Amino acid sequence: MRTLLSAITWLGLISGLSLGAEADIGNKVQFFNASGVKIAYSDAPPDAGHAEPVVLLQGFGGRLSHWKPMRDALHKAGYRVLAMDSRGHGQSDKPHDPDLYGQEMADDVARLLDHLRLRRAHIIGYSMGGDIANRVRERHPSRVITVTMGGVGRGVAKGWTTSEFNVIKVAESLERGEGMKSLFREPGGAGTEIPSEAEIEKLNARFMEGQDPLALAAVIRAYARLEVSEESLKDNLVPTLVIVGEDDPEKPTVDELKRVMKNMRTVIIPGVDHFHAAVKPEFLRATVEFLEAHRDR
């Protein structure tokens, strides 16, 4: 499950990603019941504009507050911005049963729209959020205006590090109380170089702050259930944008997705990796321009 990388991105372990507290995302955090699981979300209506809704889906280990730059850009463009804490994350419930994750995380997006009595929305996800967004597109196409996927391509088991690595080892590490250390020791698992053991301890401590390790382990164990079928890619009718850094390990999987997926556009951000692409002005600009080109009809 390569999208574990996004956890580092969204927790601000690289420069430029100190994104602020929950209150900065817009309106106060609210909650709805998603088939017995409490889901946290924020709702920031625009000051003016067409007010089409956009749902933001964060990466593994992230929080809805980590979307502030994107929320600000979309709000300025006149969109109603909804950011979710995926189950197992942030202020949402954190069950320990893997059966409560996987495609349930995609269905939560439809449940949010039902809760707010919204017919359709644009869906934007980075890393794990991108995989969730793609699964929403497959399971609930009539509820989706567009899909924007950042830092992900084809195959939920590909591209999350530069080595051959069984991600279930991370679930086992979390269950033992050792956090993410096994991933951080892999090439590409915490950046372009493997950190020292002292740095791994610091990365792990920061990543695990406020997390429920058993919930995160359950997310990993169910992650394969976010896989989409080749048929749904070939027959896709939802306008889809995929944005990836030129140096992201996901770049080859994006190239593979492009060969299969209908109705898909790709933007490559030169000279950046998985960790930096999401906060580049090019990412924000491409996303807003894509949504503006595909207003709900």
Q: Is residue 236 part of a domain?
A: yes
Helix 68-76 to helix 281-293 angle (10° resolution) is 40
Q: How confident is the model at residue 192, as a pLDDT?
A: 65
First to last CA, the chain: 36
Q: Is residue 143 part of a domain?
A: yes
Tell me the two tokens of residue 4.
Answer: 């574990």
Q: Is residue 113 part of a domain?
A: yes
Q: What is the pTM of this model?
A: 0.89
Q: How confident is the model at residue 15, as a pLDDT?
A: 28
Q: How confident is the model at residue 249, as a pLDDT?
A: 80
Q: How confident is the model at residue 223, as a pLDDT?
A: 93
d(CA 221, CA 244): 25
DSSP secondary structure string, the chain? -GGGHHHHHHTT-STT-----GGGGSSPPEEEEETTEEEEEEEE--SSS---EEEEE--TT--GGGGHHHHHHHHHTT-EEEEEE-TTSTTS-----GGGSTHHHHHHHHHHHHHTT-S-EEEEEETHHHHHHHHHHHH-GGGEEEEEEES--S-TTSSSSSS---THHHHHHHHTT-TTHHHHTSTTSSSSSPPPHHHHHHHHHHHHTT--HHHHHHHHHTGGGG---HHHHHT--S-EEEEEETT-TTHHHHHHHHHH-SSEEEEEETT--TTTGGGSHHHHHHHHHHHHHT---
For the chain, state the CA radius of gyration: 17
Q: Is residue 55 part of a domain?
A: yes
- Give the CATH number, domain containing residue 80: 3.40.50.1820
Q: Is residue 15 part of a domain?
A: yes
Give the pLDDT means over successive 10-residue stretches in the chain (297 positions). 42 34 60 97 77 94 88 91 96 98 98 96 95 97 97 79 78 94 78 81 91 97 95 97 90 93 96 84 95 90
Q: How confident is the model at residue 273, as a pLDDT?
A: 82
Q: Is residue 44 part of a domain?
A: yes
Could you give the number of structural domains in the chain?
1
d(CA 291, CA 286): 9
- The answer to whether 112 and 256 are in contact (CB under 8 A) is no
Q: Is residue 297 part of a domain?
A: no
CB atoms within 10 A of CB 74: 24
- The answer to whether 93 and 37 are in contact (CB under 8 A) is yes
In degrees rounded to 5, what are phi and psi of residue 44?
-120, 90
**Residue 209 is part of which domain span?**
2-292
Q: Which residues pair with 121 in a beta bridge?
A: 144
d(CA 178, CA 171): 10
Q: How confident is the model at residue 66, as a pLDDT?
A: 82
